[in-house]
Structure 1
Amino acid sequence: MPIPPRVLTVAGSDSGGGAGIQADLKTMLALGVHGMSVLTAVTAQNSRGVQGAWQLPADAVRAQFRSVVDDIGVQAVKTGMLASAELVETVAELLTGLDAPVVVDPVGISKHGDPLLAASALESLRTKLLPVATVATPNLDEVAWLTGVRVATEADLRRAADAVLSYGPAWALVKGGHLDGAEAVDLLTDGTEEHWLRAPRHDNRHTHGTGCTLASAVAAELAKGSGVPEAVTAAKDYVTGAIAAGFALGGGIGPVDHGWRFR
């Protein structure tokens, strides 16, 4: 049997299964790549929020990464929850010089508003991790947190993307899902070319894990050999279907359906 493309997620665990490492690996399976993981933190998390979080030591993160990369190899890497400045800097160091595209999801807070990255890690994220990113995928809250730029209209997405690009990623994907309107509009740009991605906005509150899912889908498509615009377009299509099929779990916000194409 042919060996599928290999994708590594470096992120935290979501015990509820909707986001984090769990969402990443489900997405990778759905898109036909072999998912591998470096666990950075453990959360006690459900549909209502995050009840606790415990970061792993930097040595444990480094050992997991080297174990996978040095033996199995990777065709793409996705980063998510990194918890602290120490872990951000550790992961950035590991990724420097890696011959594979890197998708950085600059996770700062959860869908429920719970902090997932220490405030002291912001500068490390800007100066250490974003410069090694092939694609950075912030939502509007993360753009404001990273750059100070607040997006109120679709026209503001250009200014937001420019601010993200100033920190060094090759491409910025600014996700406009929090804007009002009948469509969910994202802007992908490398500062020279622009790609506006539009999809119908689905009336479904069960959207836990959308950011993790989109970033993992981009990484999966890059690992399969797509260029960045093609990878992001395919990932947007996948996550739009997953949102449409999202379902209720527990008493809060349910997850997107990572297996919607199998139904």
Structure 2
Amino acid sequence: MNQQISTPVTLIFGPFDPTGSDGLPADAITCAALGGHAISALTAITIQDSAKSESVLPCSAEQIDDQARCLLEDIPVQAIKVGALSSVESVSAVAQIAADYSQIPLVLHLGAQEIDTETGAEEEDEVDDLVGAVIELLVPQAHIVVIEARRLTQWITEEVMEASGHAGGAQALQAIGAQWVLITGVKQRPGHQANVLTGPESETIAWPSPLSPERTRDSGGLVATALASLLARGLSVPKAAEQACAHASQALLQSFQPGMGQMIARRIPIAP
């Protein structure tokens, strides 16, 4: 008789990217590469190629809620990762699930949101409302927030997110309620950047990060998924963040270009 091997499970909320460069297909590979298993609640389907997204077909809040609760009532989950959402209603649905399962660590990736292209709302206003809902409803519940440095700076500069008197971006997110903040792509001296983790006592840890190849997407989703999968294995936040950043760096350095658009990280890196 084969002995059953325990496999940590991560629940992923995110869109289906048909190119496999991001979203649920890519996240499933990342979890598998790190010894875990991904289950998922689909938030949207994107119509896109490797160069650009043509449209976003969102799932309703009810569909997202039904998917997640059906899974959570059946399968023990050790971590939750939330990626792109498409409407304020979907943010509310995910926030309620997170509140009901607050004992499970939540990794929140604050990346580009997949805006609902079926609505007639003005895109800029819709983006602001969506980001505002994520900041208000999900950041306070996040065990750790992952965000790219230039996006956080932009949000504070444009007052999409108020810094609340805090000079540092990480402290601004922690003031809202995030326990830990991992900022990727923090610029240092020319040609060098780092990923910087800030903890509950404002302690910081930084790891050098290689510059991403040109024409690659925001790597924050890759880092966030790796981080969630490693937390599911029981690692501490600093150790999980260190290993997640190392995994993402190796995957990015081995990026490939399958089409005429962006580079795609190799989520199961080839051994040297």
TM-score normalized with structure 1 length: 0.88
Q: Which runs of 4+ in 1 moved over 4 A?
A: 177-180
User: SS of the residue aligned with 1:16?
Assistant: coil
Aligned mate of 2:141, from 132, 138, 145? 132
Within 5 Å, which residues of 2 pair with 1:149-228? 159-176=168-185, 181-192=190-201, 193-201=203-211, 204-208=213-217, 210-228=219-237
Amino acid across the alignment from 2:204: E
Q: 1:209 to 1:249 in 2, by over 3 A?
A: farther
Which residue does the alignment assign to 1:46?
A: 49
Cα distance, 1:63 vs structure 2: 0.5
Give the CA deviation at 1:177. Answer: 5.3
Q: Is the 8 A contact 1:14 1:43 kept in 2?
A: yes
Instruction: Give the Cα–Cα distance (whole angstroms) in 2 for the partners of residues 149 and 174 of structure 1.
Output: 18
Query: Judging changes above 3 Å, is the alpha-carbon distance between structure 1 residues 46 and 158 closer, same or farther for their aligned structure 2 residues?
Result: farther
Q: What stretches of structure 2 of length at least 5 have no aligned partner?
A: 115-122, 160-165
Task: Find 2:89's aligned residue among 62, 68, 86.
Answer: 86
CA separation in 2, counterparts of 1:83 and 1:179? 33
Provide the rounded CA distance (Å) in 2 between the counterparts of 1:149 and 1:103. Answer: 25
How far is the alpha carbon of 1:210 from its aligned partner? 1.7
**Structure 2: how far apart are the matches of 1:158 and 1:190?**
16
How far apart are 1:2 and its partner, in Å? Answer: 1.2
TM-superposed CA distance for 1:179, in Å, is: 6.5
Counterpart contact for 1:206–1:256, Cα < 8 Å? no
Q: Does residue 104 in structure 1 map to residue 116 in structure 2? A: no
Equivalent-residue separation in structure 1 for 2:198 and 2:85 (angstroms): 25
Q: Which residue number in structure 2 is paired with residue 153 of structure 1? A: none
TM-aligned CA deviation for residue 248 of structure 1: 0.8
> How many Å apart are 1:183 and its aligned residue?
2.9
Partner of 2:27: 24
Distance 2:205 2:158 in 1: 20
8 Å CA contact 1:126, 1:146 repeated in 2:
no
What SS does the corresponding residue of 2:138 show, helix, strand or coil? Answer: helix
Q: 1:121 aligns with which of 130, 135, 146?
A: 130
On the 8 A contact 1:206/1:246 being kept in 2, the answer is no
For residues 195 and 206 of structure 2, the distance between their equivalents in structure 1, rounded to whole angstroms, comes to: 6
Q: Deviations for 1:8-38, whole angstroms, at most 9, x for unmatched residues? A: 1001111111001111111001001011100
Opposite residue 173 of structure 2, the aligned amino acid is V
Distance across 2 between alignment mates of 1:90 and 1:222: 23
Determine whether 1:77 maps to 2:102: no
Change (3 A) 1:46 1:181: farther
How many matched pairs?
Answer: 252
Identity across the alignment (%)? 26
Structure 1's unaligned 5+ residue stretches are 151-156
CA distance in 1 between partners of 2:51 and 2:195 (Å): 27
Distance 1:199 1:32 in 2: 23
Q: Contact (CA 8 Å) 1:134, 1:171: kept in 2 or not?
A: yes
CA deviations 1:27-83 (Å, max 9, x no partner) are 001001011100000101221111110110111000110011110121000000111
Residue 251 of structure 2 is matched in structure 1 by 242
Q: What's the C-alpha RMSD, in Å, of the aligned pairs? A: 2.4
- With the length of structure 2 as denominator, give the TM-score of the two structures: 0.85
SS of equivalent residue, structure 2 residue 96 = helix
In the other structure, the counterpart of 2:40 is 37
